[in-house]
Amino acid sequence: MAHKSLLISDSGWRGVTAAFVLNGMLFGTWASRVPAFKESLELDPGLLGLLLLALAGGAIVSFPFAGALSEKLGAKQLTILCAAGHVPALVLLALAPSPLWLGLFLFVFGAFHGAMDVAMNGWGAQVENRLGRSTMSIFHAMFSLGAGLGAASGYFAARLGYDPVLQFAIMAVAGAVIAFAVMLSSPQEVVETDAGEGGQFFALPTGPLLLVGLIALSVSMGEGAMADWSAVFLVTVVQSSEATAALGYAVFSAMMVATRMAGGVAVERFGPVAVTRGSAATAFVGLMLAIFGNEVGLVLLGFALMGIGYAVVMPLVFSRAARDPQMAPGPAIASVAILGYGGMLLGPPIIGFVAQFSGMRLSFLVLAGLALLALLLAPRLQSRG
């Protein structure tokens, strides 16, 4: 309790928390209404997958620029600047009059989302170093909380008959007012920089660390696919209503939050390898329930198990990377993050392309195979050094 009170009383920790919640909420708000866009713009799975690739492309393009600007402007300042662009970019999505404009706006939305992600993780790392406590998993839990709030807004908006324009505007304004008030009141973090590692920040992992990166890719593709396809999956596979479909990502995110908040206890008791194996197996079982379930309740249970299974693996990946004997902690973490975030962004369009040819239900078999890959590679997360 004292540990939690210390964190809450720190204004820097609160600022980073607000950034993660806002970033997750904006993304979850979009994800909750994908079926509405699919219907209003008459998008087939292949075209929708192509549009989601535009979102991924915007984010990936923004990564190197965000890394450079973070050093020049400071992680806190860049986080706030990116948030200032990310908020109106959400509203732009709802105003898209055609698939072409939606693709353009998704690229912009993805660019601000990706740049803010890089910046706020850098800000979070600075706060974590100053406090001398492990707080990154809690920050990521707050992203999931924000995504769940955004998804819940989609449920209520669909039930009340609100179109995405009104919903997105309400969520953008409310989220921005609260988050900016907290972020702007946070102090600038004083950090020591190591210029020697700057050039390697975006290096791809090699050797044993590449296998660690593949674990990150495996779980992050599942998390990204859930964000954009969980609602469509429920509507397509079990013919749920749009309002009920919005609950899919909300359930998934809620279980991720709960598991991330409590996952440290399991890691201390059983170790990273056993926890990763159990997590991957849990995600696989959840996927089987979703793929072969014929009722809304079974599919939602499957999504809940997927949330539990995906929750703590990424923090374990970063922990293992920081202890890599062949690469310094900063470049090692950055290298696996590229595969991790790349998987989260590329997962949705890949699922869309597979669904175009094999159907939505069978497209999730891709995620099941990746869960098994993470299970097999789990020994690579054994701490070293």
* Same structural domain, 176 and 119: yes
* Same structural domain, 81 and 219: no
* Same structural domain, 71 and 123: yes
* Same structural domain, 215 and 252: yes
* Same structural domain, 18 and 152: yes
**Which is more confident, 371 or 120?**
371
Burial readout 48-74 (b: 16 or more C-beta within 10 A, e: otherwise): bbbbbbbbbbbbbebbeebbebbeeeb
Per-residue pLDDT tens over the stretch 290-340: 999 889 999 999 999 999 999 989 878 877 776 778 876 556 666 777 788
* Same structural domain, 151 and 253: no
Q: In sequence order, which residues have a C-beta less than 8 Å from that of residue 66 and are 6 or more positions away?
A: 78, 82, 114, 115, 116, 117, 118, 119
In a domain, 190, yes or no: no
Is pLDDT above 90 for 364?
yes
Indicate the SS3 state at residue 353.
Answer: helix
In a domain, 74, yes or no: yes
Per-residue pLDDT tens over the stretch 215-242: 999 999 998 889 888 988 999 888 888 8
* Same structural domain, 167 and 210: no
CB of 210 closer than 8 Å to CB of 332: no
pLDDT (0 to 100) of residue 50: 85
CB of 265 closer than 8 Å to CB of 312: no
Work out the pLDDT band at 6, boundaries 50, 70, 90: low
In a domain, 2, yes or no: no
In a domain, 89, yes or no: yes
CATH number at residue 333: 1.20.1250.20
In this prediction, residues 168-195 reach a mean pLDDT of 83
Is pLDDT above 80 for 202?
no
- CA-to-CA distance for 120 and 76, rounded, in angstroms? 7
CB of 373 closer than 8 Å to CB of 214: yes
pLDDT (0 to 100) of residue 33: 87
pLDDT (0 to 100) of residue 240: 86
CB of 122 closer than 8 Å to CB of 70: yes
Q: Domain limits at 326?
A: 201-385
- CA-to-CA distance for 110 and 27, rounded, in angstroms? 9
* Domain count for the chain: 2
Indicate the residue among 184, 212, 232 that finishes a domain: 184
- CA-to-CA distance for 328 and 287, rounded, in angstroms? 36
In this prediction, residues 188-193 reach a mean pLDDT of 64
pTM of the model: 0.75
Work out the pLDDT band at 144, boundaries 50, 70, 90: confident
In a domain, 193, yes or no: no
What DSSP string runs through 214-258? HHHHHHHHHHHHHHHHHHHHHHHHH---HHHHHHHHHHHHHHHHH
Mean pLDDT, rounded, of the chain: 85
Q: What percent of the chain has a predicted confidence (pLDDT) above 70?
A: 90
Q: In sequence order, which residues have a C-beta less than 8 Å from that of residue 170 and are 6 or more positions away?
A: 153
